[in-house]
Amino acid sequence: MQDPKESSGVPCGLFRRLTIIFYDSAVVLALLMLASWLALLAGLGPRTALKDPGYTLFLSLICYFYLAWCWHRGGMTVGMRAWRVSIVDDLGNRPGWGKVTVRFLAALLSTAALGLGFLWALFDPGKRTWHDILSHTRLVRF
């Protein structure tokens, strides 16, 4: 495995990451609202996320498919494009489906641990978060 400091691309810092998350949250929120509206039209009735396991899984899959498709297909989300950041694997290539899936699940862990997985970027020499490390991916500025 190649050290992140040896690969091309300037590592993305924590502030830029958090700003990207803010941008992408608007897109994700819009997708979740659309998905909820479609669920209502399909006759599922009102549901509450985190109380209804099936509905929670449905919304989680919407988030996963948006992020994973953007990471895998184009190497960046809307927020990443705005802040001139892309995602690469340890070899500098776009990550495959396996790596983006691990990244998504590990990002949930990073968040669930009160954000400690994100704060790790402040101490890591390559500015990597837990989900960067676990998925063998990283965010780089271009």
For residue 46, the model assigns a pLDDT of 82
Rounded to an integer, what distance in angstroms lies between the CA atom of residue 100 and that of residue 109?
A: 14
State the pLDDT confidence band at 1, using cuts at 50, 70 and 90.
very low
pLDDT digits (tens, 9 = 90+) for 6-59: 456 899 999 999 999 999 999 999 999 999 999 889 888 788 888 999 999 999
For residue 100, the model assigns a pLDDT of 98
pLDDT digits (tens, 9 = 90+) for 78-115: 999 999 999 999 999 999 999 999 999 999 999 999 99
- Whether the per-residue pLDDT at 2 is higher than 50: the answer is no
Q: For 128-140, give the DSSP string.
A: --HHHHHHTEEEE
